[in-house]
Amino acid sequence: MATLHKEYNTFYDKIKLTDNRKDDLLGSRKSLREKIEKWFKENKSDRLQPKFKGQGSFEMDTTVNPIVETKDGETFRKYDLDDGVYFYEKEGEDNRENIDTWHNWVYEAVKDHTGEDTIRKNTCVRVVFADGHHIDLPIYYKDGDTPELAHRSVLVGWKESDPVEFTTWFQKNSTKQKKRLVRYIKSWKDFRQDKNSNLKLPSGFALTILVINNYVKNDNDDVAFRETIRNIYNSLSAYNGFKCLRPTIPEDENVFDDYSDTRKNDFLTALNSLLTDCDRAKDESNFKKASEYLRDNQFGDRFPKGDDTDEERQKKAMSSTLAGTYIQPKPYGY
């Protein structure tokens, strides 16, 4: 059996957002915030001024590098940032406008910012940038303890939602290894969807909850990832087990509630195929072959090829050079 901890670590370096790129994206978010602030200052009264709170993978430190896309010789990296725009009610003043009005205002504020499309979505206004990244701007109104999201679907309307509380929950429950597993599974999703445009796997948000709730700790990332995936698969495929409960407001809402049967089955099938290849890799003694199971069908070529050698042979070679000392691969740190 081949231990692929080292290969997973190399993969991690490829998919983890680097500090430089992170700074670029934060700069882009900052200039967009300034633009929105300026528009509201110029067009709305003092009591209608926005505040901002970042949310999503960026705040949780689980952002992955998207698969690079090329079109007409240009490269695009479709990073997805979420930046909440908040309006707070001051005592004795009811400033709540209707949902479309809030969306229209934010849309007006940002529509000429990039020269690219600005998209009206149900849950946010999306600003697209020339290099492919976009910033989603969900809008919240807060007149009590819990912010309410302005959801444009008439079936939903104002919806209690607290993404900052979710980030806090995640930080409390995560470790370095759990964050790495979240990045592995999100990169898996990106690769699978890139290969099959009909496939719609769960959001990064849902995958993050699943990893935290089904986590298996191990010194080696390949084992931790494989056994966590096994737990996720087993719990979702159990009778009445296909659910993913939101841990923060709206607490215990099932994130998978509106999934069609096709979408459920597609996810279970994809998970099963991932698990099968992880098990094949485990049973394979040659590093190169083991890595190819994961590279070809699950992670793509960002996952490195292992050496064309057997684990047993490598151990023997090492122990003879090191006069009998075989050094265990070091855990990456928790």
CB 286 within 8 A of CB 304: no
Nearest-approach distance from CB 123 to Mg ion, in angstroms: 9
Catalytic residue among 24, 61, 80, 307, which? 80
Interaction between residue 203 and Mg ion (CB under 5 A): no
**Catalytic (active site) residue 257:** no
Dist. CA 225–CA 43, nearest whole Å: 51
Beta bridge partners of 150: 158
Q: For Mg ion, which stretch binds (CB under 5 A), given 15-23, 79-87, 249-257, 275-283?
A: 79-87
Residue nearer to Mg ion on the CB measure, 129 or 225: 129
In whole angstroms, the minimum distance from the beta carbon of 29 to Mg ion comes to 12
| Among residues 7, 59, 83, 136, the one that binds Mg ion under rule CB under 5 A | 136
Residue 190 in the binding site for Mg ion (CB under 5 A): no
Beta carbons of 296 and 272 less than 8 angstroms apart? no
Site for Mg ion contains 82 (CB under 5 A): yes
136 classed as catalytic: yes
Judged by CB under 5 A, the number of residues near Mg ion is: 3
Stretch that binds Mg ion, among 2-10, 132-140, 163-171, 257-265 (CB under 5 A): 132-140
The single residue listed with the structure tokens 């104002």 is 158
Is 80 an active-site residue? yes
- Scanning 29-37, 134-142, 284-292, 293-301 for contacts with Mg ion by CB under 5 A, the matching segment is 134-142
Asked if 128 interacts with Mg ion (CB under 5 A), we say no
Distances (CA, A) of 64 to 26, 53, 143, 227, 279: 15, 20, 35, 21, 25
Which one of 81-89, 148-156, 201-209, 213-221 is the stretch in contact with Mg ion (CB under 5 A)? 81-89
* Residue closest to Mg ion, measured at CB: 136
Nearer CB in complex with Mg ion: 137/224: 137
> Interface with Mg ion includes 148 (CB under 5 A)?
no
Query: Exposed, middle or buried by CB within 10 Å (0-12, 13-18, 19+), for 75?
Result: exposed
Nearer to Mg ion, 80 or 219 (CB): 80
Is residue 303 within 8 Å of residue 7, measured between CB atoms? yes
One character per residue 240-259, x = contact with Mg ion (rule: CB under 5 A): --------------------
CB of 82 to Mg ion, least distance (A): 5
What count of other Cβ atoms lies within 10 Å of the Cβ of residue 201? Answer: 20
Q: 165: alpha, beta or left, given left = phi > 0 and alpha = psi -120 to 50?
A: alpha
Distance CA 178, CA 84 (A): 25
Distance CA 29, CA 35 (A): 10
Q: What is the DSSP letter of 308?
A: S
Minimum distance from CB of 130 to Mg ion (Å)? 18
| Binding of residue 284 to Mg ion (CB under 5 A) | no
Stretch of 128-136, 147-155, 175-183, 220-228 lying at the interface with Mg ion (CB under 5 A):
128-136
- Is 80 one of the binding residues for Mg ion (CB under 5 A)? yes
Q: Between 80 and 97, name the residue whose CB sits nearer to Mg ion.
A: 80
Q: Is 93 exposed, middle or buried (0-12, 13-18, 19+ CB in 10 A)?
A: exposed
Angle (CA) 170 18 213, round 5°? 20
Q: What secondary structure does DSSP assign to 241-305, as a single string?
A: ----B-SSSSTT-BTTTT--HHHHHHHHHHHHHHHHHHHHHHH--BHHHHHHHHIIIII-TTSPP
Give the catalytic positions in this structure.
80, 82, 136
Chain positions contacting Mg ion, by CB under 5 A: 80, 82, 136
